[in-house]
Amino acid sequence: MRQAIEALLAGNPGGVLPIVQAGHPVLRRPAHPVDGRVDATLLRALVAAMAATMRAAPGVGLAAPQVGVPLSLAVVEDPGDPDADRAAVRERAVVPFRALVNPRYVPLGGEEVAFFEGCLSVRGYQAVRSRWRRIVLTCEDLDGVRTEEEVTGWAARIVQHECDHLAGILYLDHAEPRSLCSDHYLGAWASEPAPRRAAAALGFDLAAGPTRRSSALGAGRAD
Ligand code: NI
């Protein structure tokens, strides 16, 4: 693992790493816990490269398997939505940059919300995905300090998306199939605060939501 990460970073001296796409097996395997097999210096260098990669994409989250590294590690950063109405409906607030080490979540309250989302490893498309509106996130920081906190709204969506990556799950696995939308057409729907017109036009039920599997909860380990 250490040598592979060193080779990855050395091979991309600009710091922006290639993002693997759906079809690569690393996106379908549970990630290994960050447990000391990678030293702190290398871990920080990897996080810096993941941050540069996420910002260059651009995206609001990136999991280590997306750069080919099967570690339970993700970075998140969201500048928010300049459209105030959409931001309010989606509860999308600014998320400062942070690294999530060995993150896991459990739902809080049981309420689900459905919006279009996409993935840097599934380029060119978005689909409506139901997510828990509130979760409790447990993770460590780069110093190994463990925290537990409530996360709500779009930030909770980002955390769930990244945790799913660490369990080998892609958002499409549990998205509303009829909502699948090429970027070419997404402009017609993305300006909506909630995807009601898209639901009517494409023929899917926003209220029903996709079937969930318990395996979608938590992430980062094979258990
Ligand atoms: Ni993704």
Report the chain's mean pLDDT, rounded to a whole number. 91
Q: How far is the CA of 147 from the centre of ligand 1 (A)?
A: 23
Q: What is the mean pLDDT of residues 148-164?
A: 98
Q: How far is the CA of 64 from the centre of ligand 1 (A)?
A: 10
Q: What whole-number distance in Å separates Cα of residue 121 and Cα of residue 170?
A: 9
> At 30, phi and psi to the nearest 5?
-60, 140
Q: How far is the CA of 204 from the centre of ligand 1 (A)?
A: 23
Predicted local distance difference test score (pLDDT) of residue 53: 98
Q: How far is the CA of 60 from the centre of ligand 1 (A)?
A: 9
Predicted local distance difference test score (pLDDT) of residue 219: 36
3-state secondary structure of 196: helix
Predicted local distance difference test score (pLDDT) of residue 210: 47
Residues 179-221 pLDDT 10s: 999 999 988 887 788 999 999 999 998 875 544 433 334 333 3
Predicted local distance difference test score (pLDDT) of residue 209: 52
Paired with 152 in beta bridges are 134
Predicted local distance difference test score (pLDDT) of residue 71: 98
Task: Name the catalytic one among 6, 162, 176, 192.
Answer: 162
Residues 118-142 pLDDT 10s: 999 999 999 999 999 999 999 999 9
Structure tokens at 120: 């840097």
How many percent of the chain have pLDDT more than 70? 92
Q: How far is the CA of 27 from the centre of ligand 1 (A)?
A: 9
Residues 5-22 pLDDT 10s: 999 999 998 889 999 999
Is this structure's pTM higher than 0.75? yes
162 labelled catalytic: yes
Q: How far is the CA of 120 from the centre of ligand 1 (A)?
A: 5
Q: How far is the CA of 14 from the centre of ligand 1 (A)?
A: 22
